[in-house]
Structure 1
Amino acid sequence: MKMKKLCFLMLALTLVAGLAAGCSSKEEAGGSGGGGNSGKAQEIYFLNFKPEIEAVYKKIAKDYEAETGVKVKVVTAAAGTYETTLKSEIAKSDAPTIFQMNGPVGYQNWKNYTLDLKDTKLYSYLSDQSLAVTSEGGVYGIPYVVEGYGIIYNDAIMKKYFALPDKAVSVSSMAEVNNFATLKAVVEDMTAKKEQLGIKGVFASTSLAAGEQWRWHTHLANFPLYYEFKDNKDFDNTVLAGLASKEVEFKYNQNYKNIFDLYLQNSVTKGTLLGSKSVTDSMAEFALGQAAMVQNGNWAWSTINEVGGNVVKAEDVKFLPIYTGMSGEEKQGLAIGTENYLAINSKVSPEKQQASIAFLEWLFSSDKGKAYVTNELGFIAPFNTFKEEEKPTDPLAKEITNWMAKDGVVSVPWTFAAFPSEQFKNVFGDALLQYAQGNQTWEEVVTIFKDSWKTERAK
């Protein structure tokens, strides 16, 4: 009897082991998320950053579950509480499988929880892979919505200029303007011919009123500091290099001065009057056809479009990179950035990781997913999976995607995330106003810039 019981027990154990092995092999075969097969993760968890689009994500989740059988749990942190919520949720047994982080800075906080995505289709979809959060050859954050800025120009005015029989430059279209020297030659000749062109100045006003200086103390200052921090080989990211810098050389201050002077000297408004000019003023000048160019971002289209008496047609609104005279800038693109990156939780099961990646790949490559992204989430998505008719119709948004897709052109990342404080930016902005009004030398501005950085970093 004992022998029979022992044999029966051994047989049962063998059967259980066989079943377990079979289940194990099915789990391993699960791969990326999708249908209702037992070997695949049946639920993933997305911790959303933006309350205003929670309802859209829940609609997306419902459609995805209907199509694939995989449930997407969407939880949204209250405004201003994302980091706190993520810290709480990531420690739970049912932790988020997809979460968001604030670029390289956020990565430093969450690098122990981020999966390397370099071999995923999601990463291959990026139009400009330099935008991803990377570290030591790995890819840990994928940007999913971007914005960008540069020099906005009215192509109708530019075509009018290039058609002039007495123009002083050899270039015949904006496609040939790809460095500072060419831009300067075109702009200065346009200033000499502004009456023929029917404009008050090539550039709209360089707004330097208090609270209106962000285009210069932040967006334009991004360029010399991006190049300075890029020279620091101890870091593979310019934001991290900037955050580690207790002092700056302002090494490329002459490049900043190049473009800033070009704005000032070829503008609708004289430098002495810029202390009263706002961004709204400069955008109105552009919209009314008084200026051919203005530095701003894709968000400016709504302002341009809503100006009463606007004469600029949507098809004529284009972007040019901000050239400053740097070596090799012919390959420089627009300043493209975001504070929104997707990451996959490296601590959840491989099946949930793959299912999470599959969901994101569906969202940014399937017809249904892309329609949600463009039409309901309202994103400028930085992925090459979007066909022309699937991209935003806003002309500046279209320009952003076009520039990111140009072969051999590299976007300039938003390095201003490393600037020490608002106080630093405001001190620099006030110094720029004094320079524009002729009350300070450029050398004094440079000294103020460097001293302010050092002071703010020491706090």
Structure 2
Amino acid sequence: MKKWKLALIVATVFTLVIAGCSKDGNQGAPTNNGEQNQQGAKKDVSIKMFNFKVEIAEALNNLVDEYEKETGVKVEVETHGGGEDYGALLKAELASGSEPEIFNNGGYVGLIPYMDRATDLTDEAWAKDLIESSKNPTMVDGKLYGMPMNVEGYGIIYNKSLFEQAGITEEPKNLSQLKEAVEKLNAEGITPFMATNEWWSLGMHLVNVGLANQPDPQKFIEDVKAGNATFKDNEIFKQWLDLVDLIFNNAQKDKMTSDYASQIANFSAGKAAMMLQGNWTQADIDKIDPHLQLGVLPAPINDNEGSVLIGVPSNYIVNSKSDHPEEAKNFLNWLVTSETGKTFVSKEFKFIPALTNIEATENDIGQIAVAIQDKSPTALGWYWDLFPDGVSQGFGAAMQEYLGAQISGQQLLEKLDKSVEDIVKQ
């Protein structure tokens, strides 16, 4: 199997950042005096990890069991995600006086409220192996404050068998071609899209399609935050509504009550031909039908060729205010340098690794990631983390109203503007 050309995946999406130098470190989890702990020897240490990645919750629990066997250090994992508001739950956790040693954070402006806790990881042994552009979300003043969890991509995942059944012989590349495919699917009695009501899928992933298609996404976002631009007057977002309408108007009847789990289960069972999702769904799909033949379409907003969207979904932050930040760093080092940890990253989590020292074959990470990698030269980026915390939740609420046909397209765009305005004014 070929190895992933990981630099290719992200080189077209991010601006490269020159990071500080790294130093070599000891493999394995050292004890307080720097010597490696005897394998399996119980240490009177327990650290906590606040995890938002629900897709890997089971595998992550298995991983920390292996870590305890090898090092004697217990890692307690608390997972919140999917329909839960991870950011609000993390804030509540910290406000209660609990300080998890490791927590997830998207970086960029989302990191600002946690800079008083974020530990400088620039000189960790694994930092030298990071894809340079994967450092961007947690680089502040030339220092690295997070370990990128992985690289991910999303687009319109489709069922090849259902496309064949509908007589669709070529992958749609633009919106007109996608509309033609929808018509063929409907004519065959096949539900075109399996939608979800999850705020994060709607408010982050779907809204991001409009953001990423801006001539200069970061400038547009800064202008919106400053009150110098709006969604309702933006031509790109007016075109983006055509894609949203195509998905919502050709989705399953119970779309308003379909959470992430039901979306994946029903799509995997062949109840719809397409869904807007990413390579993180591969493990859940495989549990239902590991033989399902899948591809990934770009997400187009007009008659120009669309793009898949690639980025770093989250980063591991080491909490300097926790009881055992050094043990947290030891765990992260083990995760990406030990054979056990690296195997979990690629084969169990099915991650596209953010580090060049972790090899991942097509069999490891699945056909969805392969399809995304094939389209990476024209990929666009992820921009929702450039908004303050709470904005994407507002986007999600507005999108849910539109999904339920409670507001018009113009009202949706106005509500996107208000979501930004309400947070920025605070």
TM range (shorter): 0.5 to 0.7
Q: Which amino acid aligns with 1:103?
A: G
Shift of 1:257: 1.0
SS in 2 for 1:249: coil
Deviations 1:132-182, CA, capped at 9 Å, x for gaps = 522344433122256654311012344566776xxxxxxx4x3xx5xxxx3
* Rounded Cα–Cα distance in structure 2 between residues aligned with 1:89 and 1:275: 38
Shift of 1:293: 1.5
Deviations 1:387-446, CA, capped at 9 Å, x for gaps = 327735xx4xx52376358764556326167443745532443245337xxx73x33332
What is residue 451 of structure 1 aligned with on the other side?
418
Counting aligned pairs with the same residue, the percent is 18
Structure 1 pair 57–454 and aligned structure 2 pair: CA distance change class (3 A) = same
Q: Which amino acid aligns with 1:259?
A: L
SS in 2 for 1:314: coil
- The correspondence for 1:220, drawn from 206, 220, 227, is 206
What is residue 106 of structure 2 aligned with on the other side?
103
In the alignment, structure 1 residue 154 sits paired with structure 2 residue 140: no
What is residue 140 of structure 1 aligned with on the other side?
145
- The correspondence for 1:278, drawn from 250, 253, 258, is 258
SS in 1 for 2:404: helix
Shift of 1:102: 1.6
What is residue 245 of structure 2 aligned with on the other side?
261
What is residue 189 of structure 1 aligned with on the other side?
180
What is residue 391 of structure 1 aligned with on the other side?
364
What is residue 200 of structure 1 aligned with on the other side?
190
SS in 1 for 2:25: coil
* Rounded Cα–Cα distance in structure 1 between residues aligned with 2:124 and 2:28: 22
In the alignment, structure 1 residue 420 sits paired with structure 2 residue 410: no
Deviations 1:26-65, CA, capped at 9 Å, x for gaps = xxxx941249999x832698944148756743532553x5
In the alignment, structure 1 residue 369 sits paired with structure 2 residue 338: no
SS in 2 for 1:294: strand
Deviations 1:57-76, CA, capped at 9 Å, x for gaps = 3532553x5xxxxxx75554
Deviations 1:184-235, CA, capped at 9 Å, x for gaps = 2332333454478x4434x22556xxx666643443113324566964459x
CA contact under 8 A between 1:431 and 1:445: conserved in structure 2? yes
CA contact under 8 A between 2:195 and 2:248: conserved in structure 1? yes
* Rounded Cα–Cα distance in structure 2 between residues aligned with 1:58 and 1:162: 48
Q: Which runs of 5+ in 2 are unaligned?
A: 1-22, 38-44, 52-56, 80-88
Deviations 1:335-360, CA, capped at 9 Å, x for gaps = 555344245969xxxxx98x987874
Shift of 1:314: 3.0
Structure 1 pair 159–122 and aligned structure 2 pair: CA distance change class (3 A) = farther
SS in 1 for 2:308: strand
CA contact under 8 A between 1:199 and 1:291: conserved in structure 2? no
Q: Which amino acid aligns with 1:200?
A: I
Q: Provide the TM-score with structure 1 as the length reference.
A: 0.59
Q: Over alpha carbons, which structure has the higher Rg?
A: 1
Give aligned pairs, total.
Answer: 369
* Rounded Cα–Cα distance in structure 1 between residues aligned with 2:65 and 2:244: 46
Shift of 1:259: 1.2
CA contact under 8 A between 1:199 and 1:292: conserved in structure 2? no
What is residue 17 of structure 1 aligned with on the other side?
none
Q: How does 1:1-20 map to 2 (within 5 A)?
A: none
In the alignment, structure 1 residue 84 sits paired with structure 2 residue 75: no
* Rounded Cα–Cα distance in structure 2 between residues aligned with 1:338 and 1:230: 21
Q: Which amino acid aligns with 1:134?
A: M
What is residue 19 of structure 1 aligned with on the other side?
none
CA contact under 8 A between 1:150 and 1:296: conserved in structure 2? yes
Q: Which runs of 5+ in 1 are unaligned?
A: 1-29, 66-71, 91-95, 165-171, 347-351
What is residue 68 of structure 1 aligned with on the other side?
none
* Rounded Cα–Cα distance in structure 1 between residues aligned with 2:120 and 2:167: 51
Deviations 1:295-321, CA, capped at 9 Å, x for gaps = 2345655776677xxxx7634123334
Structure with more contact order per residue of length (Cα contacts < 8 Å, sep ≥ 6): 2
What is residue 13 of structure 1 aligned with on the other side?
none
Q: Provide the TM-score with structure 2 as the length reference.
A: 0.62
* Rounded Cα–Cα distance in structure 1 between residues aligned with 2:311 and 2:30: 41
42-51 vs 250-259, which deviates more?
42-51
Q: How does 1:243-258 map to 2 (within 5 A)?
A: 249-250=230-231, 251=234, 252-258=236-242
What is residue 430 of structure 1 aligned with on the other side?
401
* Rounded Cα–Cα distance in structure 1 between residues aligned with 2:226 and 2:135: 22
Structure 1 pair 342–399 and aligned structure 2 pair: CA distance change class (3 A) = farther
Q: Which amino acid aligns with 1:49?
A: M
Q: Which amino acid aligns with 1:258?
A: D
* Rounded Cα–Cα distance in structure 1 between residues aligned with 2:106 and 2:159: 33
